[in-house]
Structure 1
Amino acid sequence: MSDTTGNKHKAEEKAGAEPEAEVMAEAAADAAALDDGLDARLVVEHGASFRLDVTLTARPGDVVALLGPNGAGKTTALRALAGLVPLTAGHLRLDAVELDRTPPEERPIGVVFQDYLLFPHLSALDNVAFGPRCHGAGKAAARAEAAEWLARMDLAAYASARPRRLSGGQAQRVALARALAVRPRLLLLDEPLAALDARTRLDVRARLRRHLADFAAVAVLVTHDPLDAMVLADHLVAIEDGRVVQQGAPTDVARHPRTDYIARLVGLNLYRGRARGHTVDLDGGPAITVADDLAGPVCVAFPPSAVTLHRDRPTGSSARNLWRCAVAGLETHADQVRAELTGELDLAADLTTTAAAELDLHPGATVWAAVKATQTHAYPA
């Protein structure tokens, strides 16, 4: 073989090896990436009355929201992640490090509690510096770090203020700065906006979203507010009776609720039944005509705003779905009225206060509820 031919073969071998090496390098990087973030199965038993069994996984940069009714287990899950509640079984790994038996104070975790729990005798600066001091930083270095975090939170002017002089929104940001100052690999937020009034909540939610967008590790948020979850989280995990009943991207969960709790949370009427084409025979109820052509077990959802109400049975209506109902209750929100209806089908309807007055709606009144098939959404159960 000539040198020229040999060199050619070597070049071809090298060229063929480079893509393979690149693939191997990418695979190694992917495997390493799997070790980053949160990998947990949280099993906690409280006697014979309650068992939490929840699996959570997240990558660095992810914000996961735990949603659920009171007593569902979401706060227990958060406390288990923090090490404040021991696991009965399961595992807890953060960046491939087992934390099951690691004391709370040694976990690379920051926590923002619902009531913030700021030290009342310390200034905002020293509250934030507390974490770095506990991790071995000197007083000057810890306070310098704290000053930087307060500046990021637009609170530099309040460094010397004690908690009682701070507004609710300011206290929340100090608590967040204190949690972030230890540079956690997992940030836990327990109802972080619950203590705020509606006006402050709007501003703080926007600020919190910006800070979470810049957070390079995993954040887990517990909330009962669907708007907080939709705005702040990348992934929703709905918990009921200690187990996960639905999870996914916020838009997917909102569009395809699978439990009554989630449907109420996102403001939809939800039913289950069996589809045969465009007709769904609802479980324990009437048939409903839908826009989707499906077969087998399905869920059917539509918003209360899709429901039109009539005091007399409408004639010539284009709505394919019509039910005779009674008004069970009325609730006013600004210029909207939500009517809770029972009868052939239990459902909620939204209408303006003017329309409610024109219909003379009151508890016990008989109405006809109509929904167009095009305003329904059916999907496999």
Structure 2
Amino acid sequence: MTLHAHLVVTRPAFTLDIALKVAPGEVVALLGPNGAGKTTALRALAGLTAVSGGQITLDGRPLHTLPAERRPIGMVFQDYLLFPHLSALDNVAFGPRCQGVSKAEARRTAAALLDRVGLADRAAARPGRLSGGQAQRVALARALAVRPRLLLLDEPLAALDAHTRLEIRSRLRRHLADFDGATVLVTHDPLDAMVLADRLIVIEDGAIVQQGTPADVARNPRTEYVARLVGLNLYRGPADGARVKIGELLFSTSEHLEGPAFVAFPPAAVALYRTRPDGSPRNLWQARIEGIERHGDNVRVHLDGPITAFADITPAALADLDLTPGQSIWASVKATETHAYPA
């Protein structure tokens, strides 16, 4: 059941205008900053937000003309929205019952799905007695119980703590691999997107700015948002062979290009020096330290100057260099540490 959608949602200060195609068995993640239009797109697919234009078809059948309750869609909301007065079993059975399935058959379907998500022993528990991870799995089972051809997930892991998130992310990936319909996932977490999705679609200001496999998007970011998301410094400028002009600097790269190009490199590739280093590093500039913060096991140094950049160094290097905000410093990146590609 291939999903084809052109979604146009117009509001006074915002317009969403994107085109989506999702193949059977494919998981597509919509990624973007807050306010980009990700959840609006998901709600438009579900029929919970009216579209101003465009169309939605699932295997050739128009959905945009159908009310939400008649669309072959299962949805997992960010807060799961389980019925607090019903058991896990009856929460899952609710959808089939609404479709006219007998109570006994609906409960058999629900029991099988709860067993599939590893919660057969929690069938009688109400939502208030479930952990966050268990509630998420009940919500997924409830979405699958209506036998959807399109599965929509809105930040399905956002309500979980870090430890639970790791386990449930792995479980969810296995469940999605078993689903033969189209799946659209909304998330702001790049790790969720990279692990769960076959393809990423990045939305900014209501428009698609980049799409591709997780590996392609991570290696070739095309906006500052995507670069920050995958932890890269990103710049754009005209290329002439193995050099790209970025502001006042002429960056040497390992690739040879002509015309508009991007240059990206990780913060760990930036070397810092108190004084100008001996020799002639290919990419060298003087910068001022704007800030210093912990970043995982390392220290992230914010640099301003002819270009802004992040540099990741070890705590030992920070102590040896005796760095402080406002200080002038030299920074360099080897050409072999850069990655240049057409803009």
- Give the shorter-chain TM-score range: over 0.9
Q: Secondary structure at the match of 2:329?
A: strand
Q: Distance in 1 between matches of 2:324 and 2:106?
A: 62
Are the structure 2 counterparts of residues 285 and 224 from structure 1 closer, same or farther at C-alpha, using a change threshold of 3 Å?
farther
Residue 295 (structure 1) aligned with residue 255 (structure 2): no
Residue type of the alignment partner of 2:237:
G
Match of 2:277 in 1: 314
Bigger share in helix: 1
Q: Distance in 2 between matches of 1:181 and 1:130?
A: 9
Q: Equivalent residues in 2 for 1:204-223 (5 A)?
A: 204-223=168-187
Structure number with bigger Rg: 1
Q: Secondary structure at the match of 1:238?
A: strand
Instruction: Note the residue ranges of structure 2 that are not aligned, 5 or more in a row.
Output: none
Residue 340 (structure 1) aligned with residue 302 (structure 2): yes
| 1:378 pairs with one of 334, 337, 340 | 340
1:271, CA displacement in angstroms?
A: 0.4
Are the structure 2 counterparts of residues 235 and 334 from structure 1 closer, same or farther at C-alpha, using a change threshold of 3 Å?
closer
Q: Distance in 1 between matches of 2:139 and 2:5?
A: 25
1:362, CA displacement in angstroms?
A: 2.1
Match of 1:133 in 2: 97
Match of 1:352 in 2: 314
Q: TM-score with structure 1 length normalisation?
A: 0.89
Q: Equivalent residues in 2 for 1:12-51 (5 A)?
A: 36-47=1-12, 49-51=13-15
1:307, CA displacement in angstroms?
A: 0.7
Paired residue total: 343
Match of 2:225 in 1: 261
1:364, CA displacement in angstroms?
A: 1.1
Match of 2:148 in 1: 184
Q: Which moved more, 1:285-294 or 1:326-335?
A: 326-335
Q: Secondary structure at the match of 2:173?
A: helix
Q: Which moved more, 1:319-328 or 1:154-163?
A: 319-328
1:87, CA displacement in angstroms?
A: 1.0
Q: Equivalent residues in 2 for 1:1-381 (5 A)?
A: 36-47=1-12, 49-282=13-246, 284-316=247-279, 319-381=281-343
Residue type of the alignment partner of 1:67:
L
Q: Deviations over 1:284-306 (max 9, x none)?
A: 34111111111111000011111
Q: Distance in 2 between matches of 1:333 and 1:166?
A: 34
- Structure 1 stretches of 4+ with a deviation exceeding 3 A read none
With CA pairs under 8 Å and 6+ residues apart, which has the higher RCO, 1 or 2?
A: 2
What is the root-mean-square deviation of aligned Cα atoms in Å? 0.9
Q: TM-score with structure 2 length normalisation?
A: 0.98
Instruction: Note the residue ranges of structure 1 that are not aligned, 5 or more in a row.
Output: 1-35
